[in-house]
Chain A
Amino acid sequence: MTASQEIRPESAPAGVRERRLHPVTPLRRAWAPVAVVIGWAVHDPDQVQRHVTRLTTTTLVAGLAVFLPAAALYGFLTWWVTRFAVTETELRIRTGLLFRRTAHIRLDRVQAIDVTQPLLARLLGVAKLKLDVIGTEDRDELAYLAVGEARALRAELLALAAGFAPQEAHEVGEAPSRELVRVPPRVLAVSLLLTGATWAMLIAATVVPTVLWWATDNLWTVAASSLPLLGAAVASSVGRFVGEYDWTLAESPDGLRIDHGLLDRAHETVPPGRVQAVRIVEPLLWRRLGWVRVELDVAGSSNSLLLPVAPREIAVSVVARVLPGVFVPGPAHLTPPPRRAARRLPVWWRGHGLAVVGGVFAARHGLLKRTLSLVPHAKVQSVRLTQGPWRRALRLADVHVDTGANTTVSARLRDADEAARLLHAQAERSRTGRRDALPDRWMA
């Protein structure tokens, strides 16, 4: 199931057209030596200062005369040796200057395709393309391609993965998409203002330095403590706003399309049947407005957000589209743990709940911030029952359901007999659920 990453002989196979990345790529690679120098300078400022004072103009010029061409040559060579090719079944990437590396990524195993454009890349009109397959690494992305080429390549890869013949795949082009949800900036801003974590960070970033200043009168301690806090506060408020700005969710025959970002744009495509689990998160302060956040798990993908904020009804209808044939259970459908669970987990036991209806295993946890996790039966990898000594004494047990995206959904504090029945029933359901699951090649 992992991406087939094997080292093959260097020669290019006959009949496969190999391509190179966009010519601006060396610029990006050339940053590496500069970053090393900067890192060294930051790490040991005193020594750097001593070195700099000793420098004369001639040594500086001579150093630059050696350094710049060397960096340029390194960048050029890494670009020169990196090639990729699309075959009927695979995307092949050959790279590495000294250590050769060939990755053959099977297209029928594709879990998602990301096209991302950092700010600088947007200005230059280039984009990164990454295939999410279990086992791929960050190096397996194609950075950079011209924007048009990246889009055409994504369309071709999706068409091939869907089961089109290679000749057709080239001409199919981008599948038409229909917009489902677009999150307005105002709603996003309000939702972030109503998030406890944002405020906690901001308060910490103001209170801690003040207290330290009052206690120590030392500017350095205050700066050293407040800068990371301030950074975290900015990342959790402004950073999230910028990252989740203009969040657009669209539906197409090739699956779900997620586009977002103010400065860095990201476009993700998740083909049908790739979503392993969905979580509907309901923070305390959003409840009055009826808003929820929807998270998703796709194996091998780094993105875990489906909708940063949306009214509950819209979120439910989106989940129903993402997981076809799935019914999202409401609070009325969830059965709470038995009353005696209160002795194991006072107060919070009320937050737990379980429903096995409409093709999903749905478990809720949390009292203030409620999280409802949904796993379709067809995506269950294994089922486990655990029981510690305390739970045994109270005749309680936990049932865990593991998904292919390395996440586990747990129904905690269930009655022991119910849990034992649930364990076997769930194994049976996941077996039958798998039978009528979609094929990997969704158009075939």
Chain B
Amino acid sequence: METGSPREAGTAEPADTPDAGTREVNTPVTDIPDTPDTPGTRTVAGEPVWTGLPPGLLRMRRLLLVVWLGLFTLASGVVPALFAGPVWALCALPPLALLVWGWVMLGRNWRSWRYAERADDLLICRGVLWHEETVVPYGRMQLVEVTSGPVERHFGLASVQLHTAAAASDATIPGLDPAEAERLRDRLTELGEARSAGL
């Protein structure tokens, strides 16, 4: 199911300018009224306003893929060619095919990720082949985490992770712009406090 192409949501394409992330930040916020629990909100909004992931994550993943599989392709082409004859350079073909396939898959997977902040809950959609859609009500959030590993930091990315009392419901939004991640964290925490419902 090719749901959630970020183009529909008006987010940037990979080739876009790096400041694309900041531009899309404000779109969902303005659409959601701050008055809690207005009965009309949901029905007026109808379709939730989806936000895709900024292109940085795709860039990072593709770069990692090219670096590692590229090295492997090179090695599997050069080494047999040197020791067993030039025909054996064809050994590089399977890793190369894998690289191309991985390139396409990463793109599809990246496009499948999207999230929407609604009046009372957060929606996260992900996965192409194994599609998963999660709804986490703000009042149920116990903890909102912003994490960023060394590689992610280098690419200027951060992930937001939500925890509820149920371990199974943990929802993560990877590859966000750090500023957007922090904005999301603050907003989720604020909404969580306002609607806190506990267990």
Interface residue? B44 (CB, 8 A):
no
Type the 1/0 row for B135-177, where 1 means its CB is closer than 8 Å to any CB of A.
1110110100000000000000000000011111101000000
CB–CB A383/B168 < 8 A = no
Docked-complex contact B130 and A386, CB < 8 angstroms: yes
Task: Looking at the assembled complex, report how far the CB atom of B109 sits from the nearest CB atom of chain A, in whole angstroms.
Answer: 14
Indicate which residue in B129, B135, B171, B199 contacts A299 across the interface (CB closer than 8 Å). Answer: B199
Residues from chain B with a CB closer than 8 A to the CB of A2 are 142
Residues of A contacting B8 in the complex (Cβ-Cβ under 8 angstroms): none
Nearest CB of A to B169, in Å: 3
> Is B1 an interface residue when CB atoms closer than 8 A count as contact?
yes
A387 nearest CB neighbor, chain B only: B131
Most chain B beta-carbon neighbours within 10 Å: one of A379, A385, A423, A431: A431
- Interface check A170, CB cutoff 8 A: no
> Is A317 part of the binding interface, using a Cβ–Cβ cutoff of 8 Å?
no
Would you call A406 and B167 a contact (CB within 8 A)?
yes
Q: Give the CA-CA distance A404 to B165 in the complex, in Å.
A: 5
Q: Which B residues are in CB contact (< 8 Å) with A388? A: 129-131
**Chain B window 105-139, contacts with chain A (Cβ cutoff 8 Å), 1 for yes, 0 for no:** 00000000000000011000000011111111101
Question: Which of chain B's residues have a CB closer than 8 A to the CB of A274?
Answer: 199
Given contacts A299-B199, A404-B199, A428-B42, contact A384 B135 (CB under 8 A): yes
Contacts of A424 in B (CB 8 A): 135
Report yes or no: A430 in contact with B168, Cβ–Cβ below 8 A: no
A88 interface hit (Cβ, 8 Å): no
B198 within 8 A of A: yes
Q: How large is the interface on A (under 10, 10 to 19, 20 to 34, 35 or more residues)?
A: 35 or more
In the complex, the answer to whether A434 meets B139 with C-beta atoms within 8 Å is yes
Task: State the CA gap A383–B137 with chains docked (Å).
Answer: 9
In-complex Cβ contact of B199 among A276, A383, A428, A431 (8 A): A276
A386:B132 contact, CB within 8 angstroms? yes
Residue from the list B1, B120, B140 in contact with A382, Cβ < 8 A? B140
A400 at the interface (CB under 8 A from B): yes
Instruction: List residues of chain A with CB within 8 A of the CB of B142.
Output: 1-2
The answer to whether B165 and A381 have CB atoms under 8 Å apart is yes
B197 within 8 Å of A (CB atoms): yes
Contacts of A392 in B (CB 8 A): 1, 131
Chain B 174-198: CB-based contact to A (< 8 A → 1; otherwise 0):
0000000000000000000000011
CB-defined interface of A428-444 with B at 8 Å, one 1/0 digit per residue?
10110010010010000
Report how far A431 CA is from B168 CA in the complex, Å.
19
**Cβ contact within 8 Å between A382 and B199:** no
The minimal Cβ–Cβ distance linking A303 to chain B, given in whole angstroms, is: 17
Q: Flag if B137 contacts A431 (CB, 8 Å).
A: yes
B132 and A385 form a contact (CB under 8 A) = yes
**Which residues of A, 368-390, contact B by the 8 Å Cβ criterion?**
379-389
Q: Which of A404, A423, A437 contacts B135 (CB 8 A)?
A: A423
Q: Within residues 231 to 280 of chain A, which ones have a CB less than 8 A from any CB in chain B? A: 274, 276
Residue in A379, A384, A405, A426 whose beta carbon sits within 8 Å of that of B169 in the complex:
A384
A38 to chain B, nearest CB (A): 37
Q: How far is the CA of A160 from the CA of B191 in the complex (A)?
A: 30
The answer to whether B135 and A427 touch across the interface, beta carbons within 8 angstroms, is yes
Is the pair B197, A382 in contact by a Cβ cutoff of 8 Å?
no
Q: Which residues of B have CB within 8 Å of A400?
A: 168
Among A111, A134, A404, find the residue whose CB has the most chain B CB atoms closer than 10 A. A404
Q: Which of A386, A403, A404, A427 contacts B131 (CB 8 A)?
A: A386
Check A383 against B132 for contact (C-beta < 8 Å).
Answer: no
Whether A382 pairs with B167 at a CB distance below 8 angstroms is no
- B164 CB contacts on chain A under 8 angstroms: 381-382, 402, 404
8 A Cβ contacts from B56-95 to A: none
Chosen A-B contacts, 10 in total, with CB atoms closer than 8 Å, are A134-B199, A299-B165, A384-B132, A384-B169, A388-B130, A404-B199, A427-B121, A428-B42, A431-B120, A431-B121
Q: Other CB < 8 Å A-B pairs besides A382-B169, A427-B137, 5 of them?
A: A381-B136, A381-B164, A381-B169, A386-B130, A440-B198
B residues touching A (Cβ–Cβ < 8 Å)?
A: 1, 42, 120-121, 129-137, 139-140, 142, 164-169, 171, 197-199
| A binding-site residues for B, Cβ under 8 Å | 1-2, 111, 134, 274, 276, 299, 379-389, 392, 400, 402-408, 420, 423-424, 426-428, 430-431, 434, 437, 440
